[in-house]
């Protein structure tokens, strides 16, 4: 020890606990966290009841990542000073941060009864209750604040978030508008109001609100992200991608913006499977790099009953549920035990129907990725299946923690690669992922022998309209796809078709066209079709608009991004679909569906073939009438709707994956 260090120790030995504490504060303010911690420990050694030193020590421990010790320190502070508001707040936040949300809520609930300054406690308690899905409790907490403090903007904001999470958009917007009356320039409130407006279809108003939020705070990453979603709805794909990139420039680890960027790339004509793979790998390198995980203790018996876990936000009224429901229902329970991990905040009738067919059900909303991974490990899942990819509500970062020994991606929720190193396989089929597609995936491609998943039509859908209905006034081509899938090349192809079929027109129907401003914008984008195009919304939802299939003769699939349910449902309703099989998986759903239906002649191989097939089909009234009568019976007896057959194929694939893991060389598994 040199002379300088000896003098320092001597001064500290002679200093009072308060002086040592002040030295710690000086170190902490200067960013010297380790020195600050030593000072606080020295002060406490001299005066164990110095609660301020213990509180600051907890802050330092948190900053150093020593969270377990920090939790202990905060609890000791509260034991000494139960009315110390900041200690309760920090303890609650830290508990939530380490995944103990239930304990965090309990901590703040207790604090709200013992501290005098309750506002901060109740605001944080309401936030955690909302995150945990305890919406009624959260609403009660915010109302408890607002009764004595009706002018507290933060409470109106918090209550609006609760209503927004429940889908009560009118009430949420009223709360946000009241908060803005009190704090007009709050960018977070403007952002959330813009998100609500977008959800209810007031897209132009949402656009203006979000632009205002960004003008006030250019670093509001959430506003950039939400603006990107609106730009995608408007068809401004390049600007949409630019908005997501601006969000990431501000918040590089913003998961939602990363996922939106990858998903939107599929709507850009220049995107290739190779560029999608590169972007997905970049996402993985940044957000989910390889990490050491504990060894899996699953019994390596290749022939035992398997525990299969499905992760999805779409166990609800959603296009993906047309595949999930028959998949969960048709599993052979003598071979597998099914666990569903539902990232669903607003369960509905579909949720309950699927839940009734699962062996085990876990609601996961509000669970941290590490906590969910621990739950999955605790359930002893052998094969964990992601059903969302880079779509909203995904739990890819849970998958990154490899909670199961075998991990699988599907393509019915997201048709490109996840890019995630921790996912071993992806399930394809001979049509969507033909030979050569292996190079498009970071996962090992497992090619099922028929199709990628079974389809379950709704019992409530009407009978097929009689042949000839709606065709007396000439051929009407239909488009029921998201207009974002329709690029200029597609419009040129459609114009060529219309030019060759005298008196024909196109009816495009989608929920986006419910909004007059959006409909006007898309009408302008589709100007190349002139007055031969009609845009219709879906007032009351698609269930109230199934009559459209009696008014169209042929549905035109979108070549840039092929539809799945937007191909399957018209076929079920007796309307043939013309599609094109291009290179990328997201351009080949129609090819898979029509191939499994036994109608490969409706799958074009290039632009001219697409036009020729549509024109020839429109001219063949006899075949149109015959298809209207026979398509539904054909589907019923095809692999498309044979859930037992297709799920049997999937179970065979799972078994081979499992055997490969048991053998200790998962990489040896080949296509089945």
| pLDDT at position 669 | 42
Region 540-565: mean pLDDT is 94
Q: What tens digit of pLDDT does each residue of 122-169 get?
A: 999 999 999 888 999 999 999 999 999 999 999 999 999 999 999 999
Band (668; pLDDT cuts 50, 70, 90): very low
Band (422; pLDDT cuts 50, 70, 90): very high
Region 496-515: mean pLDDT is 95
Closest CA to 658 of 446, 399, 450: 446
Band (1; pLDDT cuts 50, 70, 90): low
C-alpha span between 142 and 126 (Å, rounded): 6
604: enclosing H helix or E strand: strand 603-604
| pLDDT at position 12 | 55
Sheet holding 603-604, edge to edge: 533-536, 505-509, 476-479, 554-556, 577-580, 603-604
Is 670's pLDDT higher than 70?
A: no
Closest CA to 72 of 98, 47, 111: 98
Q: What tens digit of pLDDT does each residue of 245-283 get?
A: 999 999 999 999 999 999 999 999 999 999 999 999 999
- CB count, 10 Å around CB of 378? 9
Region 463-475: mean pLDDT is 73
Separation of CA 562 from chain center: 20
Share of the chain above pLDDT 70, in %: 96
| pLDDT at position 89 | 87
| pLDDT at position 472 | 54
Q: Which of the two residues, 99 and 507, has the higher pLDDT score?
A: 507
| pLDDT at position 9 | 58
Is 83's pLDDT higher than 90?
A: no
Is 224's pLDDT higher than 50?
A: yes
Q: What is the mean pLDDT of the chain?
A: 92
Region 637-659: mean pLDDT is 98
pTM: 0.88
C-alpha span between 257 and 244 (Å, rounded): 5
| pLDDT at position 445 | 98
Q: Which of 313-317, 512-516, 595-599, 620-624 has the lowest mean pLDDT?
A: 512-516
Region 359-387: mean pLDDT is 94
């Amino acid at each position: 020890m040199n002379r300088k260090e000896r003098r320092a120790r001597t001064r500290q030995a002679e200093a009072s606990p308060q002086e040592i504490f002040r030295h710690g504060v000086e170190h902490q303010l200067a960013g010297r966290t380790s020195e600050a911690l030593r000072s606080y420990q020295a002060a406490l050694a001299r005066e164990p009841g110095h609660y301020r030193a213990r509180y600051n020590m907890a802050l330092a421990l948190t900053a150093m990542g020593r969270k377990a010790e920090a939790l202990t320190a905060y609890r000791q502070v509260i034991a000494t000073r139960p009315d110390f508001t900041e200690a309760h707040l920090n303890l609650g936040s830290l508990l939530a941060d380490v995944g103990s949300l239930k304990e965090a809520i309990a901590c703040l609930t207790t604090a709200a009864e013992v501290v005098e300054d309750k506002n901060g406690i109740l605001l944080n308690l309401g936030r955690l209750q909302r995150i945990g899905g305890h919406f009624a409790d959260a609403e009660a907490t915010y109302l408890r604040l607002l009764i004595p403090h009706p002018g507290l903007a933060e409470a109106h904001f918090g209550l609006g978030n609760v209503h927004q999470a429940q889908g009560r958009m009118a009430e949420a917007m009223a709360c946000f508008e009241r908060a803005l009356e009190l704090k007009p320039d709050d960018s977070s409130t403007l952002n959330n109001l813009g998100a609500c407006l977008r959800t209810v279809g007031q897209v132009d108003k949402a656009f203006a609100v979000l632009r205002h939020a960004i003008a006030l705070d250019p670093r509001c990453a959430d506003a950039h992200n939400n603006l990107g979603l609106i730009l995608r709805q408007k068809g401004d794909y390049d600007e949409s991608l630019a908005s997501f990139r601006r969000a990431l420039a501000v918040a590089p680890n913003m998961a939602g913006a990363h996922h939106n960027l990858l998903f939107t790339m599929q709507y850009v004509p220049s995107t290739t499977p190779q560029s999608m793979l590169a972007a997905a790998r970049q996402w993985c390198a940044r957000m989910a790099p390889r990490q050491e995980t504990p060894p899996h203790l699953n019994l390596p018996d290749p022939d035992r009953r398997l525990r299969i876990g499905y992760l999805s936000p779409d166990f609800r009224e959603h296009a993906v549920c047309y595949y999930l429901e028959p998949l969960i229902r048709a599993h052979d329970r003598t071979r597998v035990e099914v666990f569903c991990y539902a990232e669903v905040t607003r369960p509905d009738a579909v949720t309950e129907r699927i839940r009734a067919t699962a062996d085990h059900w876990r609601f996961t909303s509000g669970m941290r990725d590490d906590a969910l991974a621990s739950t999955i490990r605790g359930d002893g899942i052998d094969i964990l299946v992601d059903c969302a990819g880079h779509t909203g509500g995904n739990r890819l970062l849970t998958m990154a923690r490899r909670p199961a020994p075998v991990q699988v991606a599907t393509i019915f929720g997201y048709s490109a690669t996840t890019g995630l190193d921790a996912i071993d396989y992806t399930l394809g089929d001979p049509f969507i992922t033909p030979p050569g597609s292996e190079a498009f995936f970071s996962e090992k491609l497992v090619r099922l022998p028929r199709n990628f998943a079974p389809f379950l039509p709704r019992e409530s859908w009407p009978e097929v309209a009689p042949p000839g209905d709606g065709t007396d006034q000439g051929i009407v081509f239909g488009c029921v796809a998201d207009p974002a899938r329709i690029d200029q090349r597609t419009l040129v192809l459609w114009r060529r078709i219309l030019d060759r079929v005298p008196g024909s027109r196109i009816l495009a129907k989608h929920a986006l066209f419910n909004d007059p401003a959006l409909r006007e914008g898309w009408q302008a984008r589709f100007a190349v079709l002139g007055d031969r195009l009609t845009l219709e919304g879906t007032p009351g939802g698609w269930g109230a608009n199934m009559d459209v299939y009696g008014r169209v003769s042929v549905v035109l699939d979108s070549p840039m991004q092929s539809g799945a349910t937007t191909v399957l449902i018209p076929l079920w309703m007796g309307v043939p679909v013309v599609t094109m099989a291009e290179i990328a998986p997201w351009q080949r759903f129609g090819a898979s569906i029509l191939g499994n239906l036994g109608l490969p002649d409706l799958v074009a191989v290039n632009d001219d073939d697409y036009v020729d097939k549509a024109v020839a089909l429109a001219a063949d009234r006899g075949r149109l009438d015959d298809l209207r009568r026979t398509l539904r019976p054909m589907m019923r007896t095809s692999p498309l709707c044979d859930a037992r057959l297709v799920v049997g194929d999937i179970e065979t694939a799972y078994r081979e994956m499992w055997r490969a893991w048991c053998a200790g060389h998962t990489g040896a598994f080949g296509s089945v």
